[in-house]
Structure 1
Amino acid sequence: MGFDVKWVQLVMTCVTSVQYAVLINGTSGKPFIPSRGIRQGDLISPYLFLLCAKVLSSLLSQAEKKGIISETLAKIEELKSLVSQKEEKVKPLKLRRALMFGALWNLQVPNPVKIFLWRACNDILPTRKNLLRRRVIEDGKCPWCNLEEETTTHAIWYCPAAKDVWNGAIEHPNKTHAVAIGVVDDFKRCLKSDEDANQLDQFDVQVPHCWKTPPEGIIKVNFDAAINKKTGFMGMGVIARDYMGNLLGAKRLSKSMLIDAHTAELMVASYAVTFSLEVGFFDVIFEGDALNVIRDVNSSLPYLSRSGHFIEGIKQEVLHLRSHSFVHVSRALNKAAHTLAKSAAAYFCDDVWLEDIPPCIFDIVTKDQRIPRS
């Protein structure tokens, strides 16, 4: 068609050298090269068609003028019309996709949900119809109902099994109401995290006025969590000390998630109990600065919110201890655990120290060693 060799090589490079990679939890996997070349649906496909069609149309027009071919004018006009229609279809399709993409990614939902919706809207979910079209399987019928072909709309909406799921989501309003109440309860607890310590009397929680070393034979374990919204990391810190204030063990760990403060504190409380059992501490005083967590763990009432499984897990784990108690302290008196948690959230690291003081809290621990015993 008269294209320069370099231009042809450039286009063929775009077609044959493309690589794909799959994002898994935000991490790009190993790139792979498609073996079947360009296919319908690739972004470059409609533009290559328009480009070649326009060049072919121009060549036919030149041949008609030079008398090389005849009686092709009508066919040329028909081809031009086809190309124009193709252009008009590509432009609004591209615009609609851009608008849909923007609308989806502005939704306040987790990224996996956005990706699922995008794939569903573009009909690229691994339904049996799509797998059959790609010759991965030999039967495209829905494996659940075996009534019709499994398309995206059938799998999500019209399959009897899918209808049962949707009906189950609305047939139990009491369950939905309980979940909603739990979320509101979590929000209220977070608002009350700085509640005055004088209100603890009704919950039978002991509130010391300053950090003190535990009695001889008892291990005191401080724990705290910190959330870094800029990095998206959650850090947790656990510190165990004896009756002389000597550090017996410390642990910091990070999670790449953003959750509410109450759930984060429950998670680190659970890690504190697990850490104590792993190291071999069986008479432990647990101290944390989250009032709502201490109150919930000490309460004998069932916790029906979405974080209830953490509390039930803690209560089951402490049964393996000889003695234990959960005590609330202020943030200032839990500074060592808080500083360790902040360092984990900032640097995304998992570390364990046994009878060695982490550098980031060395000054705090040595100062606490001079605090009188309780």
Structure 2
Amino acid sequence: MTAPLLRKQSGQVLHYLDRNESLTPSKVSRLLVPLFHEDMGYPSPLAPEGTLYPFYTPSDPLVVDEEVLVSPVHPLEWRRHTQQARMLLQHFHTPLPEQHESIPLARVLELSIDPHGEWLRQVASLQPHTEIIGITSQELYARQATFFAAVQRCRNIHIQVCPLSQPLPFPAGSLDLICGTFLHASLPEHLWPLLLEECFRLLRPGGVLHLLECGRGESTSAAAGSLCAAYRHSLEMRRNASRPSIPGARTVRAFQPEHLPTRLAKTGFVAVEQQESLLDFSAGMPFHGTLRDQADDFFQLVAPICTHHDAPLSLEDYQQAYHEMQLELLEPTFRGYWHLYTIQGYKPLGRVLRPIASMHAGQLSSHTRLQPCSLLAMQEEALQREQESSEEANNRED
């Protein structure tokens, strides 16, 4: 039996195995399993047991153009968002980039806060003399985060209700650090250039934009791979429906977190860096239980998107794959990973010519500085002034 072709795009071939089709000679699949072309970087599920399949990530978009697919105030989304904030604070051990922990900061902004303001309160405890500002599009998030800040007596926290799709209500050059986490999930693709321009305007010369996104997720759960394939196929169908292509041309381009370094450089940021870290949620690891809850909540939230009348999975097949995933995540041999990308760039001290628009992402490698770092330049100038002052004082004594 030949598996029906579901999609073919840009070298990617995605199709499904029938429930009675063999994955291996010794194992029969009981669910729909996604197959990916080798060019996509995912091994075929015909490989031996232990193969890694696509897994849900916190950067998976929940908005297509202006259509919000999952309400931010849904109880499951509220819990998922709060858990993510706590988990990341434990994973990175500190809310601030390491190189900025000991540097005095006058004003810090978080883009799109979590419901309880976890990140804001952690930064406020580390920087009690810094004005910590958070913005959110959800009034309930603002109220809840303000309440927890008051309980913790964080008087240097200020929260405003303002969607990222609008100009941010702060003076130009008034911020030292702007941070954003998993914005790709809630920010429409076409608004990214506008947001980066706005961040560039708000930062003082030498200020830093610090973003965290998840490039990809993978696990040994074939059922989770099926659910991910159905979800991403449904997203593409919605994109195509909302922005029809000209015959013979493709106008829909899904923005990926990996493109962020190039976008920062095009906006005018310098010393752009990207660092990758691995969040391991395999069986027996500290975040295994949290990620089980995350996956459960996410695939419940997107079930209506993945099981509509022209979706690749019926409701019955989706529910079967969902319960199969729950069992596979409990197996002692389960392995799963999130590939996290930390991207940061500096606003230059003086006017810097922006890179040409045709620059490709491949030109930006991890830990590569595009321009002299403005922060380091400031430190070097201060050190040079101290040396000159010391030499002048020695000359007077002589």
Q: Given the two structures, how large is their TM-score scaled by the length of structure 1?
A: 0.23
The structure where strand makes up a greater share of residues is 2
The structure where helix makes up a greater share of residues is 1
Higher Rg of the two aligned structures:
1
Q: Given the two structures, how large is their TM-score scaled by the length of structure 2?
A: 0.22
